[in-house]
A and B are shown apart, each in its own frame.
Chain A
């Protein structure tokens, strides 16, 4: 029988900082552009290609260089590619929804498709940051021009001021016609954006 009470759980290995030298040679271009599938194959993820341009900013307004940024999102129909949804006919075979890049400067450009709305949610992308000086911080960002933001349960749990900080703005189109969204992810200090605790539950 598997242990299932809090006290039976094994004690986890401590998360630790990724440090400044995450190997650049571990980069995978396919994880930096989810708007396409592997080259040489007649296949295209469903949905509207977008480019998310972000700046990671520290407490002093400087760019947070050398940061590893990870993305997790639903496909165009609002379905996450997880075992829980295996067999769902709305799974897009050409879209995983997990992305990763390391930004040398602290600015990044992530190519993907606009996530669809899941039940009761506004379109969003979960963003995880690993960098020197911190272990792991997690947030979710939204799109200012998308329907459903006003009733999204996560946004509703925040003040108006904080909601705005998680909202990427539509700023033009790329040469290929992808909508460009921009977001400043302020990690600390004035204008710090909300980060979320995925280890502690309400009431625990």
Chain B
């Protein structure tokens, strides 16, 4: 029995987490108003023709530097129902570990052929696929030598499903010291892509990343 909500934890060595994590326990939502907390996201997103392929800025331009990978998986809710027509917004750093984001002021090089953002939609069975460049790890806290491990950001929105997460890479040396990975504990494994071979397509390797959107929001709309 719980009479109060979760106590959010603060990421070790993460200054922003210290600044922004609520210190009070989350409050329980009275059952009678619970449904009002479940957003339903309209299908408004758009995607350009080549956005599934982040390895190129556009189809007529050269491929970016680094290792081209495919990422694919199935999007489901926790009851195992596929979530179709959901939008995945994807962003990752380039081969060297730099974002082409106006607020990333690091001196790591940009790649003139890498944008690093794209949007794809799940099909009727909840499946998605995109290509990107395997991102570089980067030094997040030079003062203490703490790195951000290789990761790809994914934001899922569709109907009653909303999730922002990151896919990590297997056997990376910096995984163990990542503040968010530490908070996930044993569950971190679920956020690591599973390698597969890609002999027939123009990428070096693949990573399977099945996404389960948790929470009870979706049940209001089934």
A interface with B by C-beta (< 8 Å): 2-4, 9-26, 28, 30-31, 58-60, 62, 64, 66, 68, 70, 72, 74, 80-84, 96-98, 104, 118, 120-121, 124, 126, 128, 130-138, 140, 153-154, 157-158, 187-189, 192, 194-204
Contacts and interface: CB of A to CB of B under 8 A. Distances in A.
- Tell me the dominant secondary structure on chain B's binding face: mixed
Main secondary structure, interface of A, reads loop
B213 interface: yes
A52 B29 CA distance: 24
A72 B153 CA distance: 23
Interface of B: 1-3, 5-6, 8, 11, 14-24, 26-42, 44-45, 76-81, 89, 91, 99, 101-104, 117, 119, 153, 155, 159-160, 162-166, 180, 184, 187-188, 190-191, 210-217, 220-221
A12 B215 contact: yes
B180 A17 contact: yes
B29 A154 contact: yes
11 contacts: A11-B190, A64-B19, A68-B164, A70-B39, A82-B160, A104-B103, A154-B29, A195-B24, A196-B29, A197-B29, A203-B1
Given A14-B191, A59-B18, A134-B21, A3 B80 contact: yes
B6 A26 contact: no
B164 A200 contact: no
B28 A200 contact: yes
Contacts of B99: 21
A26 B165 contact: no
A169 to B, nearest CB: 22
Given A157-B30, A199-B216, A10 B76 contact: yes
A16 B39 contact: no
A121 B91 contact: no
A98 B164 contact: no
A20 B101 CA distance: 9
A75 B136 CA distance: 45
A135 to B, nearest CB: 7
Given A25-B117, A98-B42, A204 B2 contact: yes
